[in-house]
Amino acid sequence: MSGAGDHVDRITEALKTAMASLESAGDVESLRRVANEHTGKGSVLVGLKSALGSISDVEVRKATGRAINDAMQSLDALVAERLSHLERAAASVAAAGEAMDLTEHLSRRSRGHAHIVTQAWERLEDVFVGMGFKVAEGPEVETDFHNFTALNMPPNHPARSGFDTLFVKYGDAGSTLLRTHTSPVQIRVMQEWDLPIYAVMPGRVFRRDTPDATHMPVFHQIEGLVIDKGITFAHLAGTIEAFTKAFFGSDFTSRLRPNYFPFTEPSAEFDVRSSNGKWIELGGCGMVHPNVLRAGGVDPEVYTGFAFGFGIDRMAKERHDVADLRDMYANDLRFVRQF
């Protein structure tokens, strides 16, 4: 007759084998398959259980039965534990796959920043937009008409020689050029927009100049144009003063000095300074000449206006105390990174 020991050895053996393969099942699906192999129909343990009836010794049968039940319980517990482990692992793999990368801001360290001229350009726009102006831009390649004639500088007008002009080989000789100032955008705005006009026009301009500490052949200006009924020189002076305080700070003031420009009459030059500083010459301004209004399709008997224009590079240079304009365009990172 066989004792309980033989049965128990076979159960222990089956349990060990089952545990080892449950432990090594790497995913939920193979765990379920392995669990079924060792605890389902056709498994060693279930086979032993159905053979219990053939054990004649009651005590041996009982002991064997208990051992099988214990083994089954241990396996069930292990399956449950492995299942929850594998499910958690699968969930975190899925979560990792779906996760969004929110670390983008870390790359800011290597991001650049706007050039000081661009910074000044954008701040100027902001200040004027805050005062109710709209922003306009015109072409860099212009006609002689927009750059000169419409601005009260007909062919052979002496003021033309003050603008060292770069011409473009296009159309009739001398008819096309790189704009020497942003003033031609005044004409385009008058021709295209409805009245009244409150506009600023920033942009790149070109002159046949040799680069030195205070001149570049390519630089930037911002133009202003106001056309409405009843506009006077007082509006011009008030606007310049309001702009000066908004842009430079409330301790700054402006002054106008008589000057001559063909496109304005009267004309003035305007300077700004802080309460204890030196006067900085910023640009020109004046009441829009009736001939200019007419060229823009505006009736000077009904409307009046003022205009102004000044250099953006000059402002950036003053603001950041740059000694030589050429440094601003050398693309030397040692310079650029200072701002």
Residues that bind ligand DAH in the complex, under the rule CB under 6 A: 181, 183, 223, 261, 263-264, 283-286, 307-309
Choose between 4 and 177: whose C-beta lies nearer to ligand DAH.
177
Minimum distance of ligand DAH from residue 109's CB (angstroms) = 40
| Residues sharing a CB contact under 8 Å with residue 319, sequence separation 6 or more, in sequence order | 116, 120
Minimum distance of ligand DAH from residue 260's CB (angstroms) = 10
Minimum distance of ligand DAH from residue 313's CB (angstroms) = 12
Whole-angstrom Cα distance, residue 236 to residue 254? 12
Choose between 31 and 225: whose C-beta lies nearer to ligand DAH.
225
Cα-based torsion angle of the residue sequence 147, 151, 152, 153 in order, rounded to the nearest 10 degrees: -20
Minimum distance of ligand DAH from residue 234's CB (angstroms) = 16
**Residue 216 one-letter amino acid:** M
Choose between 34 and 153: whose C-beta lies nearer to ligand DAH.
153
| Adjacency order of strands within the sheet including 134-135 | 134-135, 197-206, 218-228, 304-311, 280-288, 264-274, 252-261
Residue 142 pairs with which residues in a beta bridge? 177
Whole-angstrom Cα distance, residue 20 to residue 290? 100
Q: Which helix (H) or strand (E) covers residue 279, if one does?
A: none
Beta-strand ranges (E) seen in 101-217 are 134-135, 141-143, 176-178, 197-206
DSSP labels, 147-200: HTGGGT--TT-GGGGGS-PPB-SSSSTTSEEE-SSSTHHHHHHHHHSPSSEEEE
Minimum distance of ligand DAH from residue 150's CB (angstroms) = 13
Q: Which helix (H) or strand (E) covers residue 221, if one does?
A: strand 218-228
Minimum distance of ligand DAH from residue 189's CB (angstroms) = 12
Beta-strand ranges (E) seen in 54-171 are 134-135, 141-143
Instruction: Evaluate whether 178 touches 210 at the Cβ level (below 8 Å).
Output: no
Choose between 64 and 182: whose C-beta lies nearer to ligand DAH.
182
Choose between 18 and 136: whose C-beta lies nearer to ligand DAH.
136
Choose between 45 and 117: whose C-beta lies nearer to ligand DAH.
117
Identify the DSSP state of 231.
-
Q: Which two tokens stand for residue 222?
A: 């911002």
Minimum distance of ligand DAH from residue 108's CB (angstroms) = 38
Choose between 167 and 260: whose C-beta lies nearer to ligand DAH.
260
Instruction: Evaluate whether 147 touches 159 at the Cβ level (below 8 Å).
Output: no
Note the Cα 268 to chain centre separation in Å: 39
- Which residue has 């000059």 as its token pair? 314
Choose between 244 and 264: whose C-beta lies nearer to ligand DAH.
264
Whole-angstrom Cα distance, residue 124 to residue 130? 10
Minimum distance of ligand DAH from residue 195's CB (angstroms) = 18
Choose between 133 and 263: whose C-beta lies nearer to ligand DAH.
263
Minimum distance of ligand DAH from residue 131's CB (angstroms) = 17
